[in-house]
Structure 1
Amino acid sequence: MAKLDLKVPDLTLPDGNKIPFIGYGLGTAWYKADPNSPKDQATIDATETAIKVGYRHLDGAEVYNTEEEQGIAIKQSKIPREELYITTVCLYSTAQIWQSLPPLISQRSVLTIKQKVITHIDDIPAAIDRSLKKLGLDYVDLYLIHAPFFAKGDNKLLQQRWAQMEDVLASGKAKSIGVSNFLKPHLDAILETAKVRPSINQIEFHPYLQHGDLLAYHKNKDIRVSAYGPLTPLTKAKGGPVDAVVEKLAKKYAVNPGEILLRWAIDQNVLPITTSSKEQRLSDMLRVFTFKLTPKEIEDITTEGNKKHHRAFWNHIFDANDQS
């Protein structure tokens, strides 16, 4: 297959560091329930394929038990470390994460979770050391807190954990620090005492979960946004109001519908995290940098998306109709 001759553009973070504007995710699609299970060659192969095709931003997390596979793929790729952008995420509770995963994964992992609940949020400096050892790296480019729900509304606890993230930053073990799944009250809490603002907040974001004015809030606070689950309307909520407009635009731009959804995020300055094991599909998704949607097309998708609500993750935390 032909490799696209393009360079993925960067998004500049508030701290001045640059992050590639699309990430290859090693999340739920590659999840291993047992951290002691053998290395998953399929995960290694898919990650190597993503690097070969042109992805330089690899987005993983401790909870998915794929950091070792990610590290092996990085080493075997022979790409210089400084040309790769590596993200990982601090695990705070396997029980909470388990409940947020899709039903199929949840069923597969239920016995493991019942046997042992693991939390690393109490000692973030130790957690980053474990992750770096698994990855085989001296530092990550971006380190995130997986979610704020461990604090159960305790703002001081959120502030304490963010202070630990700042210690990780100061140590040089992460070039940038941020959060994931944080909403306005959680961000307000840590910003009250933060010496360093979060560089990015990674959230579930797609036309069926637009979070009201959350994007505007991030812009006001100078925090960037990345999106996991950006293809949810096609993968988990097919048959909704955005289908027609997305199909129409896919024909116009001669791309796949998924690329329209990725571009919809990018055109709103939101960095999408996506995945696939198929080389052609991975290459196709990079076509998002060969076109732009018009403001009217972005608005059309937004308007149609707001006619339906679908949250694919963290449904045990939020009420069914909660769109925050």
Structure 2
Amino acid sequence: MEWPALPLKDGNLLGFGTGTAWYKHDPSDPPNPELVKVLKAALFKGFVHIDTADSYGTEREVGTAIKESGIPRDKLFITTKVLDGWRDVPAALRKSLERLQLHYVDLYLLHNPYVIPTTEDLQNAWKGLEAVKAAGLARSIGVSNFQRQHLEAVLEVGTEVPALNQLELHPYLQRADDFVPWMRENGVEVSSFKTLSPITVAAGGPLDPVLTSIASNHKTAVSTVLLSWAIGHNIVPITTTSSSARMDEYIAAIALKLSAKEEEEITQVGLQHHFRWWGKKFFGQDDRS
């Protein structure tokens, strides 16, 4: 199967994540054999984009799974992120690469602007990401959980434009004030986590019957429909599961082509309801930005 990609970063439009709660553990603990098993299963199913972060405590498992899979490095797309190490990004990435057993990552993200005290600190952290790209330790660099003001601060001083912003995005949180078009106008692509929220943490909303009907028409799963909706908008969804059957559902989203009417119905019904899972303390109750 030919997996679609975003040309600017050669990144596949579907990623397998490792940020789920049961994966997380103290980095000093031995590697989690169950996670290694799940990751190898995902790789053998055909996932080539694996998403991790230093704060997840799962980089060693990703590295072990890659090594044990035998899949050539150049066939994979590996994303990781820096959180607490923002003050010395090169040192943080070297530690991540050691845990991943890799010489470079395909995409390195500044994980969370809200842990960085000042705009100047944020800009200096971004310069650290530019340094690791220049050193060949990261093929592409980007950000995660950034709002417009954070991106504007980076664009003000950066010699590199963030390749991508990974943030919560789904039909119930499509981001207000033309944020997604604005990012793309400035050369920043979009990746989503919690893409399946309408059928998981936000189930029971107005999209339930819509998604069920569309899935029935295509003889597929509702998760496949939601991921296809994201991919149809050139968004890179990051999702995960320990179930082999669920992996098949997710991969099926690559081949599923929703009609323009179906995509628009999901979009418009989704706009009728608001739900945010990540970072609620940073936003007002009705803030859709």
Bigger mean CA deviation after superposition, 208-217 or 291-300: 291-300
**Equivalent in the alignment of 2:196:** 231
Matched, 1:157 2:121: yes
**Equivalent in the alignment of 1:91:** 83
Of 91, 96, 108 in structure 2, the residue corresponding to residue 126 of structure 1 is: 91
Shift of 1:318: 1.9
Give me the whole-angstrom Cα distance separating, in 2, the residues matched to 1:32 and 1:271: 22
Give me the whole-angstrom Cα distance separating, in 1, the residues matched to 2:23 and 2:110: 18
Contiguous gaps of at least 5 residues in structure 2: none
Give me the whole-angstrom Cα distance separating, in 1, the residues matched to 2:48 and 2:154: 30
CA displacement, residues 80-120 of structure 1 (integer Å, 9 cap, x when unaligned): 0000100000022xxxxxxxxxxxxxxxxxxxxxxxxxxx1
**Equivalent in the alignment of 1:7:** 2
**Equivalent in the alignment of 2:273:** 308
**Equivalent in the alignment of 1:19:** 11
| Structure 1 counterpart of 2:171, one-letter code | P
State the TM-score, normalized to the length of structure 2. 0.97
| Structure 1 counterpart of 2:56, one-letter code | Y
Bigger mean CA deviation after superposition, 78-87 or 143-152: 143-152
Give me the whole-angstrom Cα distance separating, in 2, the residues matched to 1:233 and 1:291: 19
Matched, 1:284 2:254: no
Bigger mean CA deviation after superposition, 300-309 or 81-90: 300-309
Give me the whole-angstrom Cα distance separating, in 2, the residues matched to 1:289 and 1:69: 26
Give me the whole-angstrom Cα distance separating, in 2, the residues matched to 1:30 and 1:52: 22
Which secondary structure does the structure 1 equivalent of 2:192 belong to?
Answer: strand
CA RMSD of aligned residues (A): 1.2
Give me the whole-angstrom Cα distance separating, in 1, the residues matched to 2:156 and 2:217: 47
Give me the whole-angstrom Cα distance separating, in 2, the residues matched to 1:7 and 1:74: 21
**Equivalent in the alignment of 1:221:** 186
**Equivalent in the alignment of 1:244:** 209
Give me the whole-angstrom Cα distance separating, in 2, the residues matched to 1:293 and 1:284: 15
| Structure 1 counterpart of 2:64, one-letter code | I
**Equivalent in the alignment of 2:46:** 54
**Equivalent in the alignment of 1:205:** 169
Is 1:30–1:66's contact at 8 Å kept on the other side of the alignment?
Answer: no
Shift of 1:147: 1.2
**Equivalent in the alignment of 1:139:** 104
Is 1:30–1:64's contact at 8 Å kept on the other side of the alignment?
Answer: no
Is 1:53–1:282's contact at 8 Å kept on the other side of the alignment?
Answer: yes
Which secondary structure does the structure 1 equivalent of 2:87 belong to?
Answer: coil
Give me the whole-angstrom Cα distance separating, in 2, the residues matched to 1:290 and 1:89: 29
State the TM-score, normalized to the length of structure 1. 0.86
Which secondary structure does the structure 2 equivalent of 1:89 belong to?
Answer: strand
Is 2:37–2:65's contact at 8 Å kept on the other side of the alignment?
Answer: yes
| Structure 2 counterpart of 1:214, one-letter code | F
**Equivalent in the alignment of 2:153:** 189
Which secondary structure does the structure 2 equivalent of 1:188 belong to?
Answer: helix
Which secondary structure does the structure 2 equivalent of 1:123 belong to?
Answer: helix
Shift of 1:21: 1.1
Give me the whole-angstrom Cα distance separating, in 1, the residues matched to 2:161 and 2:90: 18
Runs of 4+ in 1 over 6 A off after TM superposition: none
State how many pairs are aligned.
Answer: 288
**Equivalent in the alignment of 1:115:** none
Bigger mean CA deviation after superposition, 314-323 or 267-276: 314-323
Matched, 1:275 2:262: no
